[in-house]
Structure 1
Amino acid sequence: MSGAPGLLARRWRLGLALVATTLLVSGCAMLPADFERQPSSAIAASAETTLGRIAKASSPDPDLSGFRLMPGGDFALDTRLQLARRAERTLDVQYYQIENDETGRYFLRALRDAALRGVRVRLLMDDLYTSGEDELLLALAATPNLELRLFNPFPAGRGSLLQRFSSSLFDFDRVNRRMHNKLFIADGAMAVAGGRNIGNQYFTQTAGANFLDIDTFVAGALVKRLGSLFDLFWNSPYVRPIGTVVASPLPPAELQQRFEQATGPANTPAPRPPAPNDVLGYAPLGPALKDGARLDLIWTLAEAYADAPDRVVGKTASYGGVPLLDVDSVRYNVIEQMRRSRSEVTLVSPYLIPGKAGLEVMREIRGRGVRISVVTNSLAATDEPVVHTGYRRYRPDMLRLGVEIYELSSARTKRSVRLGLFGSQVGRLHAKSAIFDRRALFLGSMNFDPRSDTHNTEIGLFIASPEMAQQVLKLLEVLKQQGAYRVRFAEGGEKLEWVTSEDGADQVLTVEPDSKLWDRLMLELLAPLAPESLL
């Protein structure tokens, strides 16, 4: 989920928006009449492109996929920009949120520049966070070779989130369902996937609250599968070209001039270059791509899944009226990997609400002696405070099962020297990952909560690599030691304690760490107003 500012821009906007709309709405806006759809398909990798040649030369086996984890925001942003600059045929780009800040505008300009070089650019955005950005996006869409489509668009109220929900009261179940996927594919040969949206705070480009997140660079066999998953959404009936949702009275030339001004150096400075090496010891990919060198990647077997766009209308597979398991959903495959685990499972999610079903899975595998460790945000670190009310309902149950719980501390990450991901900036967890038996890794856009389970669409990669699993576990170990609290029951009871180790001695807190009394009081007031199904 995004960290966009404002209470209604957070996940708990849904409950408040319902109250507001009952006062504001006398009717319900509708999308314009249907239009002629123009389907298109991903372009396969080819040795005729530079990226295609590098990918082929780097691969030891056509059935394997190559990966490089990118926990550092500067590396993750630079990799996307390098791919955009070097693409020769096609860019397929899919994001839940692209913020109108320096990073977001610079990213959009890189896509525009690629289109002007003759690259076919297909940009798919969820429509939730495009409020007030219609002119910028229409200007981008006026670029030759670039098409911008919106997933599940709002029919009216384009200026603000409140107006959007106010105009869709009787269509609330539809507009509450969003595309949370994040995917970037260049020339059908290389890709970036993971948990990051596009904005300053996702790439440590701001002095304020930055997110701890993780992406992976991908080459090889899996990229074709990722292209087919992109096509599934791009050609979906729930996707519309932006021009069929909103129009501008300005001619294309003037729109393009406004885009040039908004994204030019005066308003959109270039991001700082990446460091010489990231926390895993990798150098930036740019020089290797420039030289055409063989890429140093981890090659292994992998699979990718995405939830069906049909979630927009609540459609699920059934036979004779009986719901069937959605074996292609991200959640189903994460749960199956948990059930197949024999020794340990580590879950990483900024918004963690296991629900009764998730709790039963934990109980099942704990009954077989499987160790479970979870890493999530503390109250002070989360950007979704009402979601924390859902999480804390399950915190005692997880502890009773013997689940190890670690909560990220903004204050501790700020002080940590070893983490090195935030410097003096405030850290918030945004990564979505799972490690199974230290041998396999899930990485994607899915949070472990009801919204990702039933309302949002998600994408996830399942990578059979002990080496990558160990890399993530090492990052988490540093995070646990220097950036988190371990939650436990106090001796002889079930009162919660938050424990850290400072200078070799345990320090124990008995209230939510780093939080103010007002924060805790607000949480108590909001908890009854937060239905779990909407979190």
Structure 2
Amino acid sequence: MNPNIRYGRNLFLLLCLTLAAFLSGCVSFKANHPTLEPAPARADTRIALALQELTDAHPGESGYYLLPDGADSFLARIAAIELAEDSIEAQYFIFKNDLTGRLFLDRLLAAADRGVKVRLIVDDLAKTWKDRYLAAAVVHPNFELRLFNPATRIGSVRILHDLAKVAKMHRRMHNKQLVIDGKLAIIGGRNIANEYFGASDRNVVDLDSIVIGEIVPDFSRIFEDYWAYSLSVPVEKVALQKKLSQEKHDEFRAQLAEWNESEETQAYLDRIQQETLLPNLNQRAIPFYWGKAYVYADDPKKLDNIRYNEDTHLMPDLIPYAEEAEESMLLISPYFIPGRKGSEWLGAIAEKGVNVAVVTNSLDSNDHPLVHSAYMKYRKRLLKSGVQLLETNAIAGGKESDPRLRDFSAGSLLHTKLFIIDKHYVMIGSTNLDPRSRLLNTELMTVFESPKLAANIIDIWQLESDGKFWELKLGENEQIVWQENSDAPAEPVSIEPGTTWWERQKLRLLRLIPIEEQL
């Protein structure tokens, strides 16, 4: 990278502070498949040494630090990458060639320049980078990139790939994780794109977490499984470019530097460094929550197997937590399609006296109307069975929104995947409560035992008082009405809030399309 880029010096200073902050557990890995053992993490890296005393003080536990703010989450990634000395393992569904995507790739290549072994897996369908750019990047001897389930292509010297693969193009890798030196991970629901990090006109409300402790090698084991799987293809074998060279690499790095020197990029970097909410940097302490932790992941074979073969699925590992719930179950999922069996299952849990609440997007905030059309078929039966339904209020957006959730403004898209059981088990990751996550895509979830963290999250979301959500209820003649959940609610609304007559008619037409299991 061009050493004259203005943000370099300030960012390095911030990274040093972040490392100092780290100075201020043992878990059970319960994957559904045999895992490949990663190389042991070095014990002499800056991160390893900085965390040693902290993790020694919490034997058998792991530490979590929430990143509800998009700008914080991006800054945490950049800071972590800058601290890497040995290895970086990154795995993402969406990886866009935009402001944050270019900065992210630039920092990965800068780490490779320092001698760090960098490996990146990206789902082929959801990226926006041209293959020739990514192929030029991997000329670097310390940088490798694989495309997961790449689409069938025609090259100058090869015919169509295996035609049998075409039927599997809709099955994607949806995992998101970043592992630094085998000692620190950032996991959650965010992809690498502007809208997830406060760099877009439309905010995406999401949740990530910094994770430390002995759970981290489990993320590396999962990464190794995906890296070695047959659907994970080196980008240089997919790109249409005939010849890779150092010259092409240098040209790409120069282009990347030019992009990152733009006024827009510099303004974004200045803003997130000034406004970041990462606490206590000056006090050199990040307040981790500590507790037992577990990681679950779909076997990558899931994309090759029959969709109903649950031997490769993570969901059977999560279901027992819900079925053993005694008091409460909060499910936050941007795309929620429970299906008939799922609706009956949630209703049965509610009938046992468990307070079951589901938070999802309203039609007004949902970026996939087809998904909403499938979800709306189950709303009435869920409400009848005692399940509480909350939909985002895209109009109000929470007039008094908690600053820790400042991305939740009017028009925001809910993208958080978060489940809390009995205010004790906190589940964070990439899984939506829909058929696509359950049957078609691969996912990754963590389960963390911490009543304190659960209470903190519930406090942040303020589900009952500040107008960020509509609560759905059954009115006269069992018709659904939307009640604003604020201290001074207005009259209930009897139609989908914030929508036009034509939008609602389109939704009724979409309900007729028989593709629910593809959503």
TM-score for both structures, normalised by structure 1 = 0.83
Say if 1:453 and 1:501 are closer, same or farther in 2 by CA, change over 3 A: closer
Say if 1:100 and 1:425 are closer, same or farther in 2 by CA, change over 3 A: farther
Match of 2:396 in 1: 412
Q: Secondary structure at the match of 1:515?
A: coil
Q: Counterpart amino acid of 1:411?
A: I
Mapping of 1:30-41 within 5 angstroms? none
Please say if residues 401 and 466 of structure 2, whose CA atoms lie closer than 8 Å, have aligned partners that are also in contact: no
> In the alignment, which of 391, 410, 420 is matched to residue 435 of structure 1?
420
| 1:526 positional shift | 2.2
> In the alignment, which of 383, 402, 409 is matched to residue 386 of structure 2?
402
| 1:514 positional shift | 1.0
Mapping of 1:307-456 within 5 angstroms? 307-315=298-306, 325-326=310-311, 329-413=313-397, 415-418=399-402, 421-422=406-407, 426-456=411-441
| 1:413 positional shift | 1.2
CA distance in 1, matches of 2:228, 2:133: 24
Indicate yes or no: 2:204 matched with 1:211. yes
| 1:120 positional shift | 0.1
Match of 1:531 in 2: 515
Q: Counterpart amino acid of 1:450?
A: P
Say if 1:417 and 1:473 are closer, same or farther in 2 by CA, change over 3 A: closer
Match of 1:11 in 2: none
When structure 1 is superposed on structure 2, of 434-443 and 468-477 the one drifting more is 468-477
CA distance in 1, matches of 2:138, 2:451: 43
| 1:472 positional shift | 1.5
Match of 1:16 in 2: none
Match of 1:173 in 2: 167
Match of 1:104 in 2: 101
Match of 2:28 in 1: none
Indicate yes or no: 2:461 matched with 1:476. yes
CA distance in 1, matches of 2:238, 2:333: 34
Q: Counterpart amino acid of 2:121?
A: L
CA distance in 1, matches of 2:424, 2:218: 22
Q: How many corresponding residue pairs?
A: 473
CA distance in 2, matches of 1:463, 1:155: 39
TM-superposition CA deviations, 1:413-433 (whole Å, max 9, x none): 174454551376631100001
Q: Secondary structure at the match of 2:38?
A: coil
Indicate yes or no: 2:270 matched with 1:266. no
| 1:350 positional shift | 0.2
Mapping of 1:271-282 within 5 angstroms? 271=269, 272-274=271-273, 278=277, 282=278
Match of 1:457 in 2: 442
Q: Secondary structure at the match of 2:94?
A: coil
Q: Counterpart amino acid of 1:299?
A: W
Q: Counterpart amino acid of 2:231?
A: Y
Please say if residues 97 and 125 of structure 1, whose CA atoms lie closer than 8 Å, have aligned partners that are also in contact: yes
TM-superposition CA deviations, 1:149-208 (whole Å, max 9, x none): 0111112179xxxxxxx99986443111100000000000100000000111001112x2
Match of 1:162 in 2: none
Q: Counterpart amino acid of 1:48?
A: D
| 1:218 positional shift | 0.3
CA distance in 1, matches of 2:89, 2:215: 15
Q: Counterpart amino acid of 1:443?
A: I
| 1:314 positional shift | 1.9
Indicate yes or no: 2:193 matched with 1:191. no
Please say if residues 93 and 185 of structure 1, whose CA atoms lie closer than 8 Å, have aligned partners that are also in contact: yes
Match of 1:50 in 2: 46
Match of 1:239 in 2: 232
Please say if residues 337 and 433 of structure 2, whose CA atoms lie closer than 8 Å, have aligned partners that are also in contact: yes
CA distance in 2, matches of 1:177, 1:155: 14
| 1:139 positional shift | 2.2
Say if 1:522 and 1:369 are closer, same or farther in 2 by CA, change over 3 A: same
Please say if residues 135 and 255 of structure 1, whose CA atoms lie closer than 8 Å, have aligned partners that are also in contact: no
Please say if residues 305 and 329 of structure 1, whose CA atoms lie closer than 8 Å, have aligned partners that are also in contact: no
Please say if residues 379 and 515 of structure 1, whose CA atoms lie closer than 8 Å, have aligned partners that are also in contact: yes
TM-superposition CA deviations, 1:293-327 (whole Å, max 9, x none): 564311110000100101111257xxxxxx8753x
Q: Counterpart amino acid of 1:464?
A: E
CA distance in 2, matches of 1:423, 1:66: 26
Say if 1:210 and 1:277 are closer, same or farther in 2 by CA, change over 3 A: closer
Segments of structure 2 that go 5 or more residues without pairing to the other structure are: 1-34
Q: Secondary structure at the match of 1:46?
A: coil
TM-score for both structures, normalised by structure 2 = 0.85
CA distance in 1, matches of 2:147, 2:280: 32
| 1:501 positional shift | 4.9
Say if 1:313 and 1:469 are closer, same or farther in 2 by CA, change over 3 A: same
- The alignment-based identity, stated in percent, is 30
Q: Secondary structure at the match of 1:128?
A: coil
Match of 2:500 in 1: 516
